[in-house]
Amino acid sequence: MGPPHRLGALGERLAARHLERLGYTILARNFRFGHREIDLIARRGDTVAFVEVKTRAGDGFGHPLAAITALKRREVERVARHWLRSHGGRGCRYRFDALAVTVRPGRPPQIEHVPNAWRLGE
């Protein structure tokens, strides 16, 4: 499949397309604050989702969502707070979503979307 960053970029593209098919608008990709980032920020209606995407090329390293550790969640939350200071608006609801993408040769990608995967501070 190539270097891990290429696999991750592919997973993020597939995740963005999946969300767009569900009616979301992608507000930002790889939004950074310092050395931390949020993979996707998406909006549908009055809900803005801060989305962490994890991609795997098989089952060898476990389920992709298992890689979203407490540390990773806190990092995403810090970046989300920064985004909210400059882009947040009244009347919107905010949540943290997770998207697992599994890519296997010769098979269509599997995408699992978990809305409200965690709450602030969990």
Residue keyed to tokens 């806190």: 74
Domain 4-118 belongs to what architecture? 3-Layer(aba) Sandwich (3.40)
Per-residue pLDDT tens over the stretch 71-99: 999 999 999 999 999 887 778 899 999 99
Compute the C-alpha angle 106/107/109, nearest 5°: 130
For 15, the 3-state DSSP assignment is helix
- Altogether, the residues listed in the chain come to a count of 122
Joined tokens for residue 40: 């996707």
| Average pLDDT of the chain, as a whole number | 91
Per-residue pLDDT tens over the stretch 33-77: 999 999 999 999 999 999 999 999 877 778 899 999 999 999 999
Joined tokens for residue 90: 């009244």
pLDDT on residue 122: 65
Joined tokens for residue 101: 């993408």
pLDDT on residue 89: 74
For 91, the 3-state DSSP assignment is coil
pLDDT on residue 63: 87
